[in-house]
Amino acid sequence: MDLSFSEQDEAYRQKLRDWIAGNKDLATRTMKGIDDKGDRNPIQAMRDWQRHLYEAGYVGMSWPKAYGGYECSLTEQVIVNEELARAHLPPTINTIGLTIVAPTLIQHGNEDQKKEHLKRILRGDDIWCQGFSEPGAGSDLASLRTAAVVEDDQFVVTGQKVWTSVGPIADRCVLLVRTDKDAPKREGITYLLVDMKSEGITVQPLRNAGGGSHFSEVFFDEVKVPRGNMVGELHGGWAIARSTLDNERSGLSGVVALENNFKKLLELVEAGTRSGKPALEDPQTLNQIAQYWIEIEGLRYLGYRTLSEQLKGQKPGPQASVGKLFSSKLRQAMAKSALEIAGPYAALTKKSPHVLNRGRWVAGFFDSLGYSIGGGTSEIMHNVIAERVLELPRSVED
Amino acid sequence: MEFQFSSDQLAIRDAVAKFLSEEWDLSERRRALDDGPVKVSDALWQQVVDMGWIGIAVSEDKGGSGLELLTSAMLVEEAAQVLFPSRLCSALASAYALDQCGGDSMPKLLGSHMTGQHFVSLAMDEANGDYGPENNSTRATMSGDEGVISGQKILVPDADVADHFLVASRLGDKGVLIKVAADAPGLTITPMERIDAQCVSELELKDVAFSTEDILGDADEAEAVLQRTYEFWTTLISADLLGVTTTALQMTNAYAKERHQFNRPIGSFQAVSHRLADVKMDEEVGRSLLYGACLALQERPDESSPQVSAAKAWLSDAATRATEAALQLHGGIGYTWELDVHLLLRQARSNAVYLGDADYHRKRIGAYLAEQLKSSAAGVSN
C-alpha cells in the first residue's frame, strides 16, 4: 500500500495552490458579493467566480473535451476537490448543474442538448435546479405525480415539486414528470429540461428548521415544454434519473469539509473551560474529540480505498455506500458537541449581544440535521446497504 | 496511490484462507472451553512454520520474506475468522520485536523462532489496569552488565509452548523489552482461564536475572523497540477483532436470509436489516482504519501511535457491537452453547480489553491532539 501521489500529480497540486494564492482577492470579493463589474450582486459574483475557476481548468475536469471539459485524470480531480475544500474558497454555485445535470446529459442527452447546455453549465451561465421530490414522493420518489400531457410537439406540465435547492435563482430545471398514469410507477416517468422562465412556473422559498431558505417549492401550472427538451425516451426517465443518483464518489472532499469542522471544534475546545479548568484537560471532552478524530480518519481511509478501486477501473466496493450514512452521523455528533463545548451562549441567536461567533454553532447544528435527510435519508441508506451490499431480501414490496 | 491489497497479497490471503478452512474448525473453541485452553498441534504448527508465515514481514537479511507489515495483519485477520489460536498472532509480534535488533543473539533467536525450534512470546499487560508500556510497573535494575527484574505480567499468551518471553519493563526512566527464559529462576508461570479459552498465563517475576545483551535494541534504540512492538502487536489484535467482526456479520447475514418468521425471512424486517447494515458500516470503517494503522507502522513506526490507537479503539467497540448483534439477531438459538456465536463474542470481549481498551486508546489520541494544539500555538507565538 502506498498513499503517495506521483511527482507529476504533486506538480499539478502546486500549480493549483499557486492559482489559489494568486486569486485570494477574487475569492474575498466573491464572498462579499461583488461581481466582476464591481457591482454588489451576490448571484452574479458567484457566477463570475465559477467562470474564473472553469477558465483556470478546475471545473469540468472529468468531462470530454468536445463539450468543454478537460479530461483530467481521477487523481487530478481528487487533488482539486481536496485543495479547493481546504482553502475555504467560495463554492461553485451551479452544483446541481455540474454534478447531476451534466453527467446525465453526457450519458443520455442528444447532440443538440449537449451543445446547448454543457458549456453554459461549466461557465455558470445557467444555474440549474432539480425537480424530483414532491410533497407525496420523497423516499418513494417513483410515486411522483406531477403530470405531463403530450400535445403536438410539446409537453404540458402541471404539478408541484419541493425541496428544490437554488429554485429562486435557477435558470433551468431538470424535471421528472409522469407521462403514463396507468403504467407501473417506474415505467411512466419522463425526464425533461425546463426553462424556469416559462409561463406558469411559480417558485416559493421554503424556510427550513434553522431559518434559512435554501430550498423552495416550485409549482407548475400548464407549463409548456418543447418535445425537444425530453432526455432519452418517452416514459424512460426513471432509469436516467437513477443512473446519476447512483453516481458513487470516493467522498474525499467531504472528508476535508469534516476536517475543517473538526479544526473549528478544536479551537472551541482550546478556548473553552470545564469545571474551572481548560477544556483541553477535561478527560471526557478529550475522549469525545478523540472519537471524532478516529471517525474522520476512518472516513479518509475509506475514501482512499474507493479511490484506489476507481483508479484501477473497478466498481466501487461496499465501503462507498457506507460513507454517506457514516458521515452524516458524524457531522451531527460533532455539531452537537460544538454546542455543548461552547456553553450556554452557543444557544443564543444572532440578535443577542452575547452571541458566539455570530451564531455559527447553532447554524452548523441545524445544517447538520439536513445531511441525514437530503440525498437519501439515513433510513434509505440502511436499506441500500442491507439490500445491495448484504443482499438481504427487500423490506418493501412495490 | 494504492490503498488496497496488491494481486500478490490477495493470492497469499486466498491461500491462507483455504489452508485455515481445511485445517481448522471454529468450534474447536467450544471443546477447549470445557477441556482446557485451545492448542495448535505440533504437526499443524510445523506446517504453519514451513509455509513461512512467521517470517512473512521479517526483513530478508534476517531470513524473512520482507513483505509489508500489512501482510502480517492480513494473516491474523484470516486466522481470527476461524478462531485459530493466538499462537500465530504472538509469533508474528515477537518476530517483529526480534527483527528490530542487531548483534548476534537476537537475530539467531529470531531464526529459530521462524523455523519453529523455539517459540518466543511477549508479556506486556499488567494487573493494575493501566495499559501501555508507559504505565508498566515491572521494574528492572542493573549494576554493570547484570541486572534483575521483578513484577507481574498477566494474560501472557502461549506460555505452554514458549521457551522465551519478551517482558516489557521499566529500566531507570525508560521502558524496554527484556528477554527472559521460561525456565529462569525466579519466574513462576500460572495458567489463567479466560472466557475465550485461549492459552494465557500470569508471569510472576522475582529478581529474575538478565544481562545487557538480553535487552532488545541498543541503549539508544531499546525504548523505541518496545514502543514499536507494542504498536505492532496492538495492530495485530485489531486485525483479530476485525476478523471476528467479519465472521459474526457473515454468520448473522446468512441466518437472516434463511430464518423465517411471519412467513418472511427475518432479514426482510428493517429492525433486523438496519442493525446488520450498521455492523457492515462498523466493519468497513474498521477495515479502513486497520489498513491506515499498518501503513503508518510501515512508513513512520515511531509516529504511528495515533493511527494504531484509532484502529484499536474503533475495532474494540465495533467487534463488541458486531458479536452482540450476532447473538441478539440469532434470537433464542444464538443464546445456546451449541451455536458458534458465543465463541466469537468471547474472543471479541477478550481482545477488546487487551493491550489497551477503547478508552485508553482514545486517551492516547486525546493527548496527541492536545500536543498538536500546543505545538501549533507555540508556532504562532514564535
Strand partners, A159: A220
Q: What mean pLDDT comes out for the span B92-117?
A: 96
- Which domain range does residue B72 map to? 7-119
Q: What mean pLDDT comes out for the span B30-38?
A: 95
Q: Of A386, A385, A397, give the one whose Cα is nearest residue B264.
A: A397
Mutant choice from A248, A270, A392 vs B, greatest count of B C-beta within 10 A: A392
The whole-angstrom separation of Cα A255 and Cα A259 is 6
Question: What's the CATH code of the domain at A204?
Answer: 2.40.110.10
Question: What's the CATH code of the domain at B79?
Answer: 1.10.540.10
- Which domain range does residue A349 map to? 248-389
pLDDT for A317 beyond 90: no
* Cβ atoms of residues B71 and B57 within 8 Å: yes
Q: Does B373 touch chain A (CB under 8 A)?
A: yes
Facing A3 at nearest CB: one of B284, B295, B365: B295
Q: Domain tally for chain B?
A: 3
pLDDT for A249 beyond 70: no
Same domain, yes or no, for B102 and B57?
Answer: yes
Using DSSP, state whether A156 is helix, strand or coil: strand
Q: What mean pLDDT comes out for the span A233-253?
A: 81
pLDDT for A48 beyond 80: yes
Q: Is residue A396 part of a domain?
A: no
Facing B1 at nearest CB: one of A75, A391, A392: A75
Q: Label residue A307 by pLDDT band (50, 70, 90).
A: confident
What pLDDT is stored for residue A258 in this prediction?
93
Using DSSP, state whether A190 is helix, strand or coil: strand
* Cβ atoms of residues B334 and B256 within 8 Å: no
Q: Label residue B382 by pLDDT band (50, 70, 90).
A: very low
pLDDT for A247 beyond 70: no
Test A389 with B365 for CB contact under 8 angstroms.
no
Ramachandran angles phi, psi of A284, nearest 5°: -70, -40
Q: Under 8 Å CB-to-CB from B129, ≥6 apart: which residues?
A: none
User: Which of B167, B198, B214 marks a domain boundary?
Assistant: B214
The whole-angstrom separation of Cα A69 and Cα A60 is 5
Same domain, yes or no, for B242 and B356?
Answer: yes
Same domain, yes or no, for A235 and A281?
Answer: no
Same domain, yes or no, for B176 and B287?
Answer: no
Q: How far does the CA of residue A325 sit from the closest CA of chain B (Å)?
A: 8
Q: Domain tally for chain A?
A: 3
Same domain, yes or no, for B112 and B237?
Answer: no
Same domain, yes or no, for B143 and B158?
Answer: yes
pLDDT for B20 beyond 90: yes
Strand B164-171 and strand B139-143: the pairing is: parallel
Mutant choice from A4, A291, A294 vs B, greatest count of B C-beta within 10 A: A294
Test A301 with B288 for CB contact under 8 angstroms.
yes
Q: What mean pLDDT comes out for the span B210-230?
A: 96
Q: Of B250, B263, B262, give the one whose Cα is nearest residue B330.
A: B250
* Cβ atoms of residues B166 and B178 within 8 Å: yes
The whole-angstrom separation of Cα A375 and Cα B2 is 29
Q: Does B300 touch chain A (CB under 8 A)?
A: no
What pLDDT is stored for residue B381 in this prediction?
44
Same domain, yes or no, for A355 and A373?
Answer: yes
pLDDT digits (tens, 9 = 90+) for B56-80: 999 999 999 999 999 999 999 999 9
* Cβ atoms of residues B73 and B287 within 8 Å: no
User: Which of B181, B198, B214 marks a domain boundary?
Assistant: B214
Q: Which residues of B touch A266 (CB under 8 A)?
A: 369, 373
How far is residue A166 from each of residues A94, A130, A171, A196, A377, measured CA to CA in Å?
9, 9, 10, 12, 20
Q: Label residue A176 by pLDDT band (50, 70, 90).
A: very high
User: Checking phi first, is residue A51 left (phi over 0); if not, alpha (psi -120 to 50) or beta?
Assistant: alpha
Same domain, yes or no, for B229 and B363?
Answer: yes
The whole-angstrom separation of Cα A168 and Cα A164 is 9
Q: Is residue A105 part of a domain?
A: no
Question: What's the CATH code of the domain at B308?
Answer: 1.20.140.10
Same domain, yes or no, for A276 and A336?
Answer: yes
**Helical H segments across B300-357, by residue range:** 305-329, 341-352
Mutant choice from B9, B365, B380 vs A, greatest count of A C-beta within 10 A: B365
* Cβ atoms of residues B250 and B280 within 8 Å: no
Give me the residue label for grid cell 515477537: B94
Number of A/B CB contacts below 8 angstroms equals 163
Overall residue count recorded for chain A in this entry? 398
pLDDT for A293 beyond 90: yes
Average pLDDT, chain A: 92
Question: What's the CATH code of the domain at B173?
Answer: 2.40.110.10
